Amino acid sequence: MKGYTKYIISAAALALVVGGAAAVAYQMGKQQSVGEVAELNDEVERLRAGERDAAVVKRVSQQMEDIAYQQKSISDQQRDRAEEQSLLAMQNATRAEMESRAAHEAENKATAAAKEAEQERANAERQQQIAVEQRDEATHAKNVADTLNLRTQARILGVTSQVQREAGNGEVADLLAYTSWYFMKNNRGNQYFSDTFKALTQATNGVLRHRMRQNGAVNALAKMPGRKLQCVAVTNYGEVELLTASFGSGQRNSITSRTLLQNNTYDFRDVVVQGNWIYALSHKGPLCKLDEQGTLSTIPLPEDEYFRILPIGEKLLLAGRKSLVWYINGSGASLPIPLPKTLSAIVEREGKACLFYADGSYAEMKGSSANDIEGKTPLVKGVVTAAYYDKATQCLSVAVKDGNVYPINKYNRVVETLAAHRAICKDITMLGSTIVTGGYDKSIYIWHMDNMLFESGLSFSQEMNAKSVTKAQRNSKEIPTEWLVPVNYTYDGWVLAVCGDVDGKDLWIGTSAGSVMLMNSSADDMAQQLHKKLNRNLTETEWVRYVGMSIPYMKLK
């Protein structure tokens, strides 16, 4: 019973458990069904909302479709219009292309026409330029021809003037001489051409002459400082004369002489005037010192063959062939300075002695002793026979044995070769830019260097200051200055001495025949004198006779 009860209790407990479980399961299933119903309700609600949205979307889509159809219609219309525009554009493009081609062809034709016109214009300008050049050349040729004609006529007039003077027709000779100079001067000719120059010289009373009393060779001349038309002449017969040119009616007409010394034991080779003293150097010595009254004192010299006196500062440098001797007034002669070679010429240049040796070599002495003699590169080729230095132009002129003369500037550059004498050139002097040379060919040459046509195109003064020059490119249209032809005067003996006067224009000349001449070296100065002297012009008849009909008549007075 006990076991049955226990079984019943167990079954009851089990039933309770099962019932509890069933209740629990029911409750859980109920809750799950409620949840699912809620979810279904939610899903239905969502579906309904979606249906509503779909209906809205459908309506919107329908509207969009309608709009799309409308847009499509518009697009089709626009496409049709675009196609029409495209076709029209193609037609326009075709027309434009045709027009462009036509325009390009027209442009090409215009360009070709422009080129042709430019070529024709260039040809016209070229023809015009050729015509202008031909006209200029014709004008230049005429100017050259006229200039050369006037220069040639000037030479003829110079000769004619001399002929008329010899015939005794002095008035016409003066007129022709001035006309000759005028044509030369105003046509860049050489007014120092011999015939023109000689005609002027004759028209202004010619060359004054004086004969030394013993007819000794006039070896040297020296101008008197500060005195016009005075000089001292010395000869190999020991003569020392003070010469003075006098005037009559405003013209030079004679040379008077006063003998200061005459002693044929002296063979004077050079003379200088320093202060109040005249120093004459004898070939074998002594040095003679004189005043203007002829008071004489002699300074013995070492044995040598003396030929030149150089004033350097307050001293005199006496040059022998083999030695040099210094002399200071009141102190006598110094001991001789021996030379290494035989001396051929010497000149003072800016305070130093330039020594030219007989073998063609060259040296300079800047001090007063043998130690101050320094060998240098020769300035020119050949044996130098004469030299002169002009402080104003700084031109050193040297002559060599063959007769040529070389002007040298301050940089030791030879600026020109003057083919002067046919024999040895014995002496040189300068008057401004005029170089005068005398030689053993019995001639003097007057070289007016301002008339020199230098290759550089520079003037003489410019050449003197130019360290180097280049060949000038001259204007072919320019009528050049006539090349320098020197005045050539021939005398009755060797020309041994030439000396410029202090007036800078007159020239003293000494010869081996014992003659001393005085002449004006300036053509311009003589022309001015002659112009003042003229009383009339050439008549038209005289002009035609002497000058010619091709040159228009002019009055020169």
Q: Please compute, for residue 474, the number of CA atoms within 13 A of its CA located in the half-sphere on the CB side.
A: 13
Q: Please compute, for residue 130, the number of CA atoms within 13 A of its CA located in the half-sphere on the CB side.
A: 6
The reply to whether 131 falls in a domain is no
Note the pLDDT of residue 165: 92
**What are the tokens at 260?**
């200061």
Q: What is the pLDDT along the chain (557 residues), one digit of tens a residue?
A: 555 555 566 666 666 666 666 666 667 767 777 777 787 888 778 878 777 777 777 777 788 777 777 877 887 787 778 788 878 878 887 887 888 888 888 888 888 888 888 888 888 888 888 888 788 777 767 776 777 778 888 889 999 999 999 999 999 999 999 999 998 888 877 777 888 888 999 998 878 899 998 889 999 999 999 999 999 999 999 999 999 998 654 555 789 999 999 999 999 999 999 989 999 999 998 999 999 999 999 999 999 999 999 999 889 999 999 999 999 887 889 999 999 999 999 999 999 999 999 999 999 999 889 999 999 999 999 999 999 999 999 999 999 999 999 999 999 999 988 877 889 999 999 999 999 999 998 888 888 888 777 777 788 999 999 998 887 655 555 555 544 556 666 777 899 999 999 988 899 999 999 999 999 988 899 999 999 999 999 999 999 999 988 889 999 98
The reply to whether 244 falls in a domain is yes
The reply to whether 178 falls in a domain is no
Tell me 418's DSSP state. B
Is the omega angle on the peptide bond into residue 302 within 30 degrees of 0, that is, cis?
no
For 477, other C-beta atoms within 10 Å of its C-beta total: 11
The reply to whether 487 falls in a domain is yes
The reply to whether 528 falls in a domain is yes
Contact 303, 279 (CB under 8 A): no
**What are the tokens at 334?**
């110094």
Tell me 367's DSSP state. S
528-537: long-range contacts at Cβ-Cβ below 8 A with a sequence spacing of 24 or more?
529/204, 529/251, 530/174, 530/177, 530/178, 530/181, 530/200, 530/203, 530/204, 531/178, 531/556, 531/557, 533/174, 533/203, 533/204, 534/174, 534/175, 534/178, 535/171, 536/171, 536/175, 537/175
Contact 506, 227 (CB under 8 A): no
For 517, other C-beta atoms within 10 Å of its C-beta total: 21
Strand order in the sheet with 487-490: 425-431, 434-439, 443-448, 487-490
Note the pLDDT of residue 382: 94
The reply to whether 494 falls in a domain is yes
Which CATH number goes with the domain that contains 443?
2.130.10.10
Note the pLDDT of residue 13: 64
- Which amino acid would we find at residue 415? V
Contacts of 485 (CB under 8 A, 6+ apart): 190, 192, 193, 194
Give which of 508, 513, 532, 487 is closest to 207, Cα–Cα. 508
3-state DSSP assignment of residue 431: strand
Number of domains in the chain: 1
**What are the tokens at 362?**
């060259």
The reply to whether 441 falls in a domain is yes
Give the distance between the most distant pair of CA atoms in the chain: 218
**What are the tokens at 15?**
């039933």
Contact 514, 216 (CB under 8 A): yes
Note the pLDDT of residue 9: 63
Note the pLDDT of residue 95: 83
Contact 508, 221 (CB under 8 A): yes
| Distance of alpha carbon 72 from alpha carbon 88, whole angstroms | 23
Contact 202, 173 (CB under 8 A): yes
The reply to whether 347 falls in a domain is yes
Note the pLDDT of residue 8: 61
**What are the tokens at 38?**
């809620």
E-state strands within 182-301: 208-211, 218-223, 230-235, 239-248, 251-262, 268-274, 277-282, 287-290, 296-299
Q: Exposure string (b/e) for 269-285, b if CB count within 10 Å is 16 or more?
A: bbbbbbeeebbbbbbeb
Domain residues for 401? 192-547
For 545, other C-beta atoms within 10 Å of its C-beta total: 13
Distances (CA, A) of 17 to 4, 10, 364, 418: 19, 10, 162, 166
Three-class DSSP labels, 290-352: ECCCCCEEEECCCCCCEEEEEEECCEEEEEECCEEEEEECCCEECCCEECCCCEEEEEEECCE
Distances (CA, A) of 43 to 29, 40, 47, 421: 20, 5, 6, 149
Note the pLDDT of residue 6: 58
Note the pLDDT of residue 373: 95
Strand order in the sheet with 384-390: 384-390, 395-400, 405-408
